[in-house]
Amino acid sequence: MQSRTILNCLKRMIAGIFCLALSHPLTAQALERFLDQPRPASAGVRLVVFNPTAFNIRGLAALRDNGILDIPGLTVIGVFHTKQKDDFEDSRKLVREKRLDWFKFHAVSGEISESTIFKKNACTPEFETILKNTDGVIFFGGPDIPSSIFHRKTNFLVEITDPFRHYLELSAIFHFFGGTQDIHSPALLDSRPAFPVLGICLGFQSLNVGTGGTLVQDIWSDIYRKSYVEDAIALGPEQWHNNPYQRLFPRDNLMGYNFHTLKLSGKGKLAKDLGFKTTDHPKVLSSHHQALGLLGKGWTTIATSRDGKVIEAIEHKKFPNVLGIQFHPEHPMLWDTEPRFRQKPGDPLTSYNAILAGTPASLEFNKAIWKWFGGKLKESQAR
């Protein structure tokens, strides 16, 4: 009788724990630790993406469905901190409903703060595991980095929404590459120098800040000295890095993004590895209000805006398979041909795909970034 009573108590406890996990997302997150499992010898390419939002997962799915990121047997692991603002429930739902069995999650819960980003901390073993057990990393776009991290006062136009995301990702970057914050701290990539890393938009800015660089906190006011939307519009689309018309006509369902062309360096991997020339001016999708300031340790500029005032791409001087880009080649709408968008009131509906197709080399350029990165992932897995 006593043993039956104990058994019933245990059953109730297990049921209670299960219900608690379902009702509290952070408890469920803490159980998602894909990288704790031993890597099978037969495992294919493993790609880590930080901040696995539903938008980012849809972007990766579109790249795979359209044959642009063509890696058979690819496993993508979404890494996040349990204190991030997003609980990633929409991401889990998307993975379940679309049966994306190639996408996994890995929650990090180690203590981290602004004061411990650029030193060995409780998350350091996580970064070591990523480098040891995966084949590449993507840092995606997102909200503004707290200005205090790069030792600047905070501009009123800066919007800080998710500091723990930045703490985790900036610390990962510092651990991977080292930085001016502590010149004696070793770079984990020294043990695996061909490891591919791609930083997109915020991820591009994070590569710079994580290695000791700074940001221009608002392009309109700090670079172009414009305080009014109408004056920014008068500059023309090549100087826009988001769509200023959206501020004036919020009910017109205008695209928040802008398309502009690039000026490529003849010495960087966009030319040498991807095969483009300085006379090519591919069009890219852009949505940001900040830009790189002083470059962090190890970076060199390989593309700018057409006027040369905004850095659009960087590569690392020491590690050959690292690329940072300020634009968005991962947006799922780039491959959709259905007319859905307009830039300003009165424009005919168009598609992102049609806009790229209307400028020579633009579609090819955006696809070539993924062909290059996918190839480096395969090489990384084979080593």
Q: What is the 3-state secondary structure (H, E, C) of the chain?
A: CHHHHHHHHHHHHHHHHHHHHHHCHHHHHHCCEHHHCCCCCCCCCEEEEECCCHHHHHHHHHHHHCCCCCCCCCEEEEEEECCCCCCCHHHHHHHHHCCCCCEEEEEECCCCCHHHCCCCCCCHHHHHHHHHHCCCEEECCCCCCCHHHHCCCCCCCCCCCCHHHHHHHHHHHHHHHCECCECCCCCHHHHCCCCCEEEECHHHHHHHHHCCCCEECCHHHHHCCCCCHHHHHHHCHHHCCCCCHHHHCCCCCCCCCEEEEEEECCCCHHHHCCCCCCCCCCEEEECCCCEECCCCCCEEEEEEECCCCCEEEEEECCCCCEEEECCCCCCHHHHCCCCCECCCCCCCCECHHHHHHCCCCHHHHHHHHHHHHHHHHHHHHHC
Tell me the average pLDDT across 353-371: 96
pLDDT in tens, 246-257: 999 998 889 999
4 pLDDT band, cuts 50/70/90, is low
Q: What local confidence, expressed as pLDDT, does residue 248 receive?
A: 95
Q: What is the CATH number of domain 27-217+288-339+369-382?
A: 3.40.50.880
Q: What is the pLDDT of residue 31?
A: 57
pLDDT of residue 111: 98
Whether the predicted pLDDT of 78 surpasses 50: yes
- The mean-pLDDT minimum among 19-23, 269-273, 278-282 falls in 19-23
Query: What mean pLDDT is predicted for residues 26-40?
Result: 74
pLDDT in tens, 312-323: 999 999 999 999
The predicted pLDDT at position 16 comes to: 46
Tokens encoding 127: 């970064």
116-158 pLDDT, tens digit each: 999 999 999 999 999 999 999 999 999 999 999 999 999 999 9
Is pLDDT above 80 for 29?
Answer: no
- The pLDDT of 2-11, averaged and rounded, is 50
pLDDT in tens, 101-112: 999 999 999 999
Which pLDDT score, from 0 to 100, does residue 366 have? Answer: 98
Average pLDDT in the 49-62 region? 98
Domain ranges for the chain: 27-217+288-339+369-382
pLDDT given at position 43 = 86
pLDDT reported for residue 251:
87
Say if residue 23's pLDDT is above 60.
Answer: no
pLDDT tens digits, 79-120? 999 999 999 999 999 999 999 999 999 999 999 999 999 999
Average pLDDT over every residue of 164-187: 97
Region of poorest pLDDT, from 23-27, 108-112, 265-269: 23-27
Under 8 Å between Cβ of 208 and 179: no
What pLDDT, on a 0 to 100 scale, did the predictor assign at position 42?
Answer: 83
Q: Percent of the chain at pLDDT above 70?
A: 92
pLDDT of residue 138: 98
Integer CA distances (angstroms), 102 to 48, 83, 96, 200, 375, in order:
12, 25, 11, 22, 18
For the chain, what is the mean pLDDT? 92
Is the per-residue pLDDT at 237 higher than 90? yes
